[in-house]
Amino acid sequence: MLQQKTAIAKFVSDALSLPEADVSTMIEYPPNPELGDLALPCFRFAKTLRRSPQDIAKDVAGVLSATGQFASVEAVGGYVNVKLQRELVFKDVVRTLQEDPEKLFSRKRGVGRTAAIDYSSPNIAKPFSVGHLRSTVIGQAIVHMLKADGWKVVGINHLGDWGTQFGKTIVAYLKWGDEEVVRQNPVRELFKLYVKFHEEAQANPELEEEAREWFKKLEDGDPEATRLWQWFISESLKVFRSMYDRLGVTFDHYLGESFYNDKMQAVVDELRDKNLLVESEGAEVVDLSAWNMPPCIIVKSDGATIYATRDLAAANYRHDEFGADTLIYVVGAEQTLHFSQVFKVLELMERPWAKNCKHVAFGMMKYNGERMSTRRGKVVYLEDVLEKAVDEARKIIEEKNPNLADKDAVAEAVGIGAVIFNDLKSYRMHDVDFRFEDVLNFDGETGPYAQYTHARACSVLRKAEESGFQPADDFQVMGVHDSEWRLIYQLGQAQEVLERAVDDLDPSLIARFVLDVCHAFNRFYHDCPILSAEAERAQRLALTNATRKALAYGLHLLGLKAPTAM
């Protein structure tokens, strides 16, 4: 509908001498379809034009009516309600989708821009739990969205491969580990050892000192410490990559925290040279009290650097080496203060691109209503969740469509898709409570429901082909049924939805769009004969094909596959 909004804004802008952009942002979708397809409230113009909203609305209605481009235009109070010419919009939306869905979704606003996006970032030698899912799938969806909007995107997995926990894991492995057992199931076994360390350390506090000594050895390049650390990383990455393959998640770079070890001193030196560091209780910090934030610690009292130092070095590297003018961090909401501090320090370091640093925060992931804790060993492995989701999807397929071809592939797509969609369908700041009975519901607002609707559209097109009918690029619109119009009306909002999702870095807007299109298509499918409607068959097959393409593209943006049969 962006094209129609733009036309209305241009006419009104010319007639009233108002900025076109101001008018365009005011045009809205009426809550009641009977009022019209688009509405322009004129109240905000009253002060500028020194006239009543009602008079302005009457003039605007007259201007728009005179163009002959709209089915009807009516001034009601201070509103102008516009009904569009359904046949023209129908043809425009359907043809665009049949030719290339991307054209309906995107104006490629990001061409020439580069974004480096930091997402997933699991810790080496610790489990890839359900809690890691959020950053992973939100980040991957944002990658797809930005690329669709024309951006060049650099995906980075900032692995947690450094820190005192490695001293603990090394101590635990040397005391209680078995190499063969670890190799068989590296992450789970290393994690068991990590949990055992914390349990034993409660009774034997000297273990903590031993762990600090081993981490110091690692920092100093001790061969044995380095060998074990590199082995932990190698074995963990094998498990992580397998998980990413199942989820359809990809990265351009795996750059762990250790990658920046030799790049932090330059940050410290620059902060000193610019007189931004002050002493505080033995530590060196950047004072951020003028911005109502606690000090950003750069060098601890023992001389060690900290997360902020590392993130400053990483930000410089991503800008300088990858050419990124925008840096995006998909990290939980509990890190909001940390990123506010880092971005402010970058600004004080006179990095002009600091204003383009964005923290994409998100709420907590719960499992059946309970929080998870890595240190206490209270973890739900994502691998187990995915396996169970696929098994459940396979059972449903066996029950409802036992003769389906490629059952295993479809079960994989549906099970994995259900898990991803469950996370992305809600606004990212909301907590997500994972419950299988909700995730795999074919009737609710779920991934399987969206995929099933796509498969239904594919089924209609297959039956049409078997009967000798094909969706044509050129077709005559023989009137537009209300249910057809509601579907076109939803599809026509694709571009605005994508742009808002990109601007807000919020995939849930795409998920909501997909669900709205599904609801509208299923209503159309119920209300309007397709193959048996001789006069309207061509337009309805074209509409079905267009919907299929829009759903497949929308599911792709979210990181889901679109099975053609279920």
Q: Are residues 293 and 156 in the same domain?
A: yes
Residues 191-232: tens digit of each pLDDT:
999 999 999 999 999 999 999 999 999 999 999 999 999 999
Amino acid in position 133: L
Q: Give the chain's radius of gyration (CA, Å).
A: 28
Overall average pLDDT of the 413-424 stretch: 95
Enumerate the β-bridge partners of residue 277: 286
Q: What is the domain extent for residue 53?
A: 2-84
Per the domain annotation, does 140 fall within a domain?
A: yes
Q: Count Cα neighbours of 472 within 13 Å in the Cβ-side half-sphere.
A: 10
Q: Are residues 50 and 156 in the same domain?
A: no
The answer to whether residue 535 is domain-embedded is: no
Residues 227 and 281 grouped into a single domain? yes
Whether residue 363 is found in the same domain as residue 323: yes
173 is a domain residue: yes
Q: Tell me: do 49 and 195 sit in the same domain.
A: no
CATH code of 131's domain: 3.40.50.620
The domain boundary, picked from 313, 332, 367, lies at 367
Residue 36 region by backbone torsions, left for phi larger than 0, else alpha for psi between -120 and 50, else beta: left
Residues 222 and 355 in one domain: yes
Q: How many domains does the chain have?
A: 2
Residue 364 above 80 pLDDT?
yes
* The predicted structure's pLDDT at residue 442: 75
CA distance 211 to 167: 4
pLDDT exceeds cutoff 60 at 384: yes
Neighbour tally for 227: CB within 10 Å: 10
The mean per-residue pLDDT over the stretch 321-333 comes to 97
The model's confidence at residue 281, banded by pLDDT at 50, 70 and 90, is: confident
Edge-first strand order for the sheet with 357-360 is 253-254, 152-157, 114-118, 326-330, 357-360
Do 80 and 134 share a structural domain? no
Overall average pLDDT of the 426-442 stretch: 83
Give which of 451, 462, 480 is closest to 92, Cα–Cα: 480
Residue type, 378: K
Q: Which of 367, 383, 408 is the last residue of a domain?
A: 367
In a domain, 106, yes or no: no
CA 563, chain centre distance (Å): 21
Please tell me the distance from the alpha carbon of residue 257 to that of residue 311, in angstroms, as a whole number: 9
Using the predicted structure, report yes or no on whether residue 368 has a pLDDT greater than 80: no
| pLDDT band, very low/low/confident/very high, at 128 (cuts 50, 70, 90) | confident
User: What is the 8-class DSSP label of residue 122?
Assistant: P
From 347, 367, 387, give the residue that closes a domain: 367
**Where is pLDDT greater, at 485 or 473?**
485
Contact 325, 297 (CB under 8 A): no
- Please tell me the distance from the alpha carbon of residue 17 to that of residue 172, in angstroms, as a whole number: 74
Same domain, 250 and 191: yes
Using pLDDT thresholds of 50, 70 and 90, give the confidence band for residue 377.
low
In eight-state DSSP terms, residue 289 is G
Alpha helix (H) residue ranges in 120-222: 130-148, 165-176, 179-184, 186-203, 206-219
4-18 average pLDDT score: 92
**What's 55's domain CATH number?**
3.30.1360.70
Residues 6+ apart with CB under 8 A from 482: 527
**Local confidence band at 373 (pLDDT 50, 70, 90 cut-offs):** low
325 and 277 in a common domain: yes
| Dihedral angle sign, alpha carbons of residues 399, 400, 402, 408 | negative
C-alpha 524/C-alpha 87 separation (Å) is 16
For residues 517 and 460, is the Cβ–Cβ distance under 8 A?
no
Q: Where are the alpha helices (DSSP H) in 440-481?
A: 447-466
**Whether residues 124 and 76 fall in one domain:** no
Find, among 31, 240, 278, 6, the residue nearest to 127 by Cα: 240
